[in-house]
């Protein structure tokens, strides 16, 4: 067995040893730049390498692994545990050299949600590799800093806790009123770049998949009703959401905003309020006009007329407004970043 402790690292004209870099031959400008990039990333590679080394060392030293490794490396045992944990969470095939070790560290703690034997939801011990991959791809594509990625992960965990809280609520709802922050995609048939900028500046948008994943089905009675706002360009996609939330489309109303607005192919001055049902709700004995006209005011704010109409048509039943904005009447529960 070779007991040599000589560092063996050679790239092009450079050979790195424990005491410096030996220049074997004359370098080109490109070789010099490449080697500089390698030196910059040595620390990143070191954390991955130590983690993999610790994984292997577990079979030699068992519970004494970290004490032994700390003596060799001069590192704190807590840091070594983190390096091993990250190495275990990410196999070599999953790691990306386009992002730092710290980027991987920020997403490693993401867990899936599971249902208990009693039908309650809670965070599981199972790593959410699908969400990890999604966030790493986003960080790479958008060149997110570690701090930006940490914020996204934190927001996701908060949303998970809210999801669990709502799903485990002891009382359920028979009336749901929702004005989702639909995500418009730049360049498709729904909008253009200018519109996306306008819409995106008002509230955090959610994709169809994110909206469908909300625990609305767990929050509602078998007999319940949904009043769902949707704009004309997203009318087709919204039916996936209706089904995911456990409802069936029945009919709808139209809000005539009076003022014209931006749009694709036509200037949109209306918005749909779809009425969807789960099970069998009481019949409505007073038919109201399906079109209501009121001049729009601030962005996304809906006329109070519609909430008051819901109260009139369905005076009995626990009710909640999803993505509520502002202060609501006392008989309404609220959910949303802008609720008061």
Give bridge partners of residue 326 from the DSSP assignment.
339
Tokens encoding 241: 């959401």
**Whole-angstrom distance, CA of residue 312 vs CA of residue 330:** 15
Q: Which residues contact 214 (CB under 8 A, 6 or more apart)?
A: 163, 166, 245, 322
The CA-atom distances, in angstroms, between 161 and each of 111, 142, 304 are 11, 26, 30
Size of the chain, expressed as the number of residues it contains:
340
8 A C-beta contact, residue 113 and residue 164 = yes
Q: Does domain 171-339 have CATH number 3.30.870.10?
A: no
Q: Check residue 180 and give its pLDDT.
A: 92
Residue with tokens 């749901």: 176
Kindly give the interhelix angle for 65-73 and 77-89, rounded to the nearest 10 degrees: 110
Q: Check residue 194 and give its pLDDT.
A: 39
Strand, helix or coil for residue 326: strand
The tens-digit pLDDT sequence of the chain (340 residues) is 445 556 667 788 988 888 888 899 999 999 999 888 888 878 778 899 999 999 999 999 999 999 999 999 999 999 999 999 999 999 888 899 899 999 999 999 999 999 888 888 899 999 999 999 999 999 999 999 999 999 999 988 987 887 787 778 767 899 999 999 988 654 444 444 434 433 343 457 888 998 998 889 888 989 999 999 999 889 998 999 999 999 999 999 999 998 776 666 787 889 999 999 999 887 776 789 999 999 987 766 899 999 999 999 988 888 999 988 777 888 899 886 554 5
* Alpha helix segments (H runs only) across the chain: 29-40, 42-61, 65-73, 77-89, 101-107, 129-142, 146-167, 193-200, 208-212, 216-219, 238-244, 304-313
8 A C-beta contact, residue 48 and residue 34 = no
User: How do the domains of the chain map onto residue ranges?
Assistant: 94-168, 171-339
């Amino acid at each position: 067995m070779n007991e040599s402790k000589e560092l063996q690292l050679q790239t092009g004209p450079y050979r790195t040893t424990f005491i410096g870099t030996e220049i074997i031959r004359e370098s080109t400008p490109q070789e010099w730049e490449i080697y500089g990039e390698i030196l910059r990333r040595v620390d990143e590679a070191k954390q991955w390498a130590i983690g993999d080394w610790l994984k292997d060392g577990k079979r030699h030293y068992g519970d004494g692994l970290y004490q032994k490794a700390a003596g060799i490396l001069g590192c704190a045992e807590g840091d070594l545990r983190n390096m091993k944990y990250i190495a275990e969470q990410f196999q070599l095939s999953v790691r990306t050299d386009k992002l730092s070790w710290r980027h991987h560290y920020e997403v490693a703690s993401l867990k899936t949600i599971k249902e208990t034997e009693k039908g309650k939801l809670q965070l599981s011990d199972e790593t959410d590799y699908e969400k990890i991959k999604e966030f790493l791809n986003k960080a790479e594509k958008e060149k997110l800093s570690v701090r930006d990625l940490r914020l996204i992960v934190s927001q996701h965990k908060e949303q998970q806790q809210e999801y669990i809280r709502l799903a485990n609520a002891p009382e359920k709802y028979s009336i749901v009123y929702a004005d989702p922050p639909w995500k418009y995609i730049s360049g498709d048939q729904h909008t253009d770049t200018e519109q996306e900028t306008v819409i995106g500046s008002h509230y955090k948008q959610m994709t169809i998949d994110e909206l469908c994943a909300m625990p609305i089905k767990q929050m509602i009675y078998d007999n319940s009703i949904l009043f769902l706002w949707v704009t004309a360009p997203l009318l087709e996609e919204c039916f996936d959401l209706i089904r995911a939330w456990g409802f069936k489309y029945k009919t709808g109303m139209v809000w005539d905003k009076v003022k014209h607005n931006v749009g694709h192919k036509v200037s949109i001055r209306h918005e749909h309020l779809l009425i969807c049902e789960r099970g069998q709700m009481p019949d409505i004995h007073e038919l109201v006009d399906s079109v209501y006209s009121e001049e729009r005011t601030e962005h996304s704010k809906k006329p109070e007329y519609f909430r008051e109409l819901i109260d009139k048509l369905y005076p009995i039943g626990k009710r909640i407004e999803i993505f509520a904005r502002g202060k609501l009447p006392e008989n309404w529960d609220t959910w949303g970043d802008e609720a008061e």
